Structure 1
């Protein structure tokens, strides 16, 4: 027998597509119950209580228009909407959390298709946010154009146009927004989320004020950190990224080179363009470009590209994203053994912003992890941080979450905790589930000495609170 949730999903699936007057469409892809989402969290090794998993979630593919180079393209995105146990959209107004995915080469790896990062959307939305994940132009269902890789303007536009589409779609899908708009992203998504956050602040007429942003392991300083450090390596870990950047920026700016053989030796100059077809995996491109950089590029080519005044260097400066002063909280995450996106990007951005008057910009050092090892820790940390600031919709009758009972604030040497009862047992966990500290609460406010990092505090009676401490 069908459950209420599955019966609702089948009815919507028969309708399949909903179209608004502005041209955006939605397609219901999946509905997962809260127990299934808890199973996903368990599979990923996420300790209980780190994320609020209060709702079932409906996943849609949104198709919507966005501008690029004077044309309008149809692009796709994943949208995750909280629903109750019977499949009804929730009655309270919801914040949005736009998550920008990392570098992908296959169109079908977009979050609204088969991409793993799309799975994380269920975990984010189950806490009570409408979670949005653009596939980006040239990826997902967008064909006939090369994805404009690490191009700040089009990255930001993919998110802003999606928010506009969701506003137009909300009434027809039965949910409403509360006006809080958060953004995060990892790797290329760190760059994209910083671009979108900057755009949200600088374009108030768009109607999407930035509540907070959590860019993670992103190349915010393309011209001064990411490209020079990558080009200086005798053998870069992902040479496909450089080719991706060159071809994408050539498409966007049109003046980086006349022929790719000016930069790459043969057979690479002739063979590379056909590999960026949205169907060739990154592993194949990296294997094609394997070996010392000196055997792949023309002598002096990289130095020429980064010469002051060269169109490529000017394009890199155009896509730097640290020279602005956030008025909303921004918390960046990085790991010190990142071999793909150098952690100095975050330090440069944090220093410039704070030196120039920012008051709510912080960084979190995730420790000596490589790019892949840093990913889930950073994404969880960013989501925890956003959830702590969002006005989340809560189900009735929840037990053990306790978000309204406990609160925390930074204090000298750690944090101060309010809401624990005198004598109540408490336990502090790391995000890996390891017990870090235990004790009994004093009367009134409790001081807790912790270093920078991401934690979960569980009271025996008062529930759980998630803590993110900046450096």
Structure 2
């Protein structure tokens, strides 16, 4: 990574491959954590650095009230929940040692080994746009749903988010995969976990979920194995279907501006995309566009600092580069578009989508289903219908899918 600036996190305006309203961007006040000392018995990937108790919802009714206040279904709640932030060792996109954080939510009073549900969250640019950094609302609600149903919910914050150092490598599936796998390993050091892992994730997290699922199925971990897979509203063909829809005006205009800007800035931090922001961004935005993704910029300021239309953001060269990428940029986009290609899950699998999604083009899901079918997997697509959350069909898909997935996983046993 050539840059040395402090980590970017898509301001709390973005929570998936989509934007949360600016009001939701304000981080909730966190409960004072009680740090638990961890013996540094190992120093490799997945080794625990610290465990912090964040909060407890002692009774099932407390969890149900929390989920309902966040707009989520509480029908699967059976247990109270204890929530912890784990800090653990992992690797950066170049394979160098680093640390990351994540949320571990556990059912209170559940005895014996627990089945893990790995949940990968959607796009964020501010460091607080991560499950372990929010006490209420959209980000912690899915892990709380799974934990209150009796699962161990394991939700990585991703590199550069939460308490992790450095810049967030947005849509870099290889590092999303290693961060997710190492989070599972760290969770197992806290609580006994069964071998089979249910893997899910929303939007950006849908691609991360597929990356983790493939790594588990191919035996990259000695203990964990893939048990079930249910990604939600992903941009699975990011460099093809999704970018084409963004550039073609097929999706929400402001969301498209944010995602295109994030693509160029984040990918340029790992790959040779452009020499100067002025070559790809119009002169009004070129001087400050990279600083908007610094991990400390609020969602409100991110929205104010970007135009309403792509034509006002991109130079002709910037648009050409996105339509016809070359070199390292093209290779990186191909990697992001391969989460559904070249393999097929051998476990119960569903793809969730919401018709009319204006942030992640629904054609991505058809693409993924077709690619998995080519490898012999007939995967059903579950359309959750016209369910909005704060005026977003995309966000609404996560709310509706979480309720469906927790019931499905409980029925699988």
TM-score for both structures, normalised by structure 1: 0.73
Are 1:119 and 2:141 an aligned pair? yes
Is the deviation greater in 146-155 or in 272-281?
272-281
Q: Give the conservation status (yes or no) of the 8 Å contact 2:57–2:63.
A: yes
**Which of 57, 70, 75 is the matching residue for 2:100?**
75
RMSD (Å), alpha carbons: 2.3
Equivalences for residues 165-176 of structure 1 within 5 A: 165-170=186-191, 176=192
3-state SS, counterpart of residue 355 of structure 2: coil
1:44 deviates by 4.7
Structure 2 CA distance for partners of 1:205 and 1:138, relative to 1, 3 Å: closer
Structure index of larger Rg: 1
Shift of 1:387: 2.3
Matches within 5 A, 1:309-348: 309-320=326-337, 321-323=339-341, 324-348=343-367
Count of aligned pairs: 365
- Flag the structure with more relative contact order, 1 or 2, with Cα contacts below 8 A and sequence separation at least 6: 2
Residue of structure 1 in register with 2:266 after alignment: 248
Equivalent residue runs for 1:146-185 within 5 Å = 146-170=167-191, 176-185=192-201
* Corresponding position of 2:247: 231
- Counterpart of 1:18 in 2: which secondary structure? coil
Matched, 1:186 2:202: yes
CA drift at 1:264: 0.7
Select the structure that is richer in strand.
Answer: 1
**Alpha-carbon distance, 1:136 to partner:** 0.8
Q: Secondary structure at the match of 1:330?
A: coil
Go from structure 1 to structure 2 and tell me whether the alpha carbon gap of 1:266 and 1:128 turns closer, same or farther (over 3 Å shift): same
Matched, 1:349 2:373: no
After TM superposition, the score normalised by the length of structure 2 is 0.82
Report the CA distance between 1:137 and its aligned residue: 0.5
Q: Aligned partners of 1:297, 1:139: CA distance in 2, in Å? A: 27
Moved more, 222-231 or 243-252: 243-252
Q: Does 1:103 align with 2:123?
A: yes
Contact 2:149 2:406 in 1 (8 A): no
The 3-state SS of whatever aligns with 1:371 is: helix
Q: Does 1:387 align with 2:405?
A: no
Could you say which residue in structure 2 is the equivalent of 1:358?
377
Would you say the 8 A contact 1:56–1:83 is kept in 2? Answer: yes
Are the counterparts in 2 of residues 77 and 135 from structure 1 also a CA contact under 8 Å? Answer: yes
Report the counterpart of residue 227 of structure 2 in structure 1: 211
Partner residue of 1:38?
A: 64
Paired with 2:214 and 2:248, the residues of 1 have a C-alpha distance of 29
* Compared CA separation, residues 190 and 312, structure 1 to 2 (3 A): same
